[in-house]
Structure 1
Amino acid sequence: MYKLKTKKSLDKRFKITRTNKLLKRNSFRSHLLQKKSSNRKRKLRKVTLVNMSDQKNFLKSLPYIKFN
């Protein structure tokens, strides 16, 4: 059987929690920030969980991710 390749772009963007959920950064935070309110930008700083329906697809692309 051949080795499975890890999608390196996903590997850099996601981290796994102790309860085996994926963490991600919020989008819409890189540019055009002057029109966004301070409150909105503050909320975008936080790390969020990946939706469970999307998580299965991400885990297929990360075959060697370490679970706890």
Structure 2
Amino acid sequence: MPKQKSHSGAKDRFRVTKTGKVMHRRQNRNHLAEHKPQRRKLRLRKDQPLHNTAEAKTIKRMLGQ
């Protein structure tokens, strides 16, 4: 039986920590950054854990975990 491929879109957008939490990037950081305050851009740099457990389960399956 062939190996399962991980979903390439999910691979780029999410990562799983050692404890099993799914981390994702914050929105509102892609473009139009010049009118956003520096404090907001600093806060948006950090990854955020995914809170919806049903979505986290789906994403882990897409990543092959």
Shared fold (TM-score, shorter chain, > 0.5): yes
Q: What's the Cα RMSD here?
A: 1.8
Partner of 2:47 in structure 1?
47
Query: Counting helix residues as a fraction of each chain, which structure ranks higher?
Result: 2
Gapped regions of structure 2 (runs ≥ 5): none
Partner of 1:15 in structure 2?
15
Q: How does 1:1-68 map to 2 (within 5 A)?
A: 3-51=3-51, 52-63=53-64, 65=65
Q: Percent identity?
A: 31
Gapped regions of structure 1 (runs ≥ 5): none
Cα distance change of structure 1 residues 41 and 7 upon mapping to structure 2, 3 Å threshold = same
Deviation (angstroms), 1:62: 2.0
After superposing on structure 2, the runs of 4+ consecutive aligned residues of structure 1 that deviate more than 2 Å are 1-5
- Give SS of 1:9's match: helix
Question: Structure 2-normalised TM-score?
Answer: 0.75
Deviation (angstroms), 1:16: 1.2
The superposition leaves residues 11-47 of structure 1 with CA deviations (integer Å, 9 ceiling, x where unpaired) of 1222211111111121211111122111111100111
Question: Structure 1-normalised TM-score?
Answer: 0.72
CA distance in 2, matches of 1:49, 1:31: 22
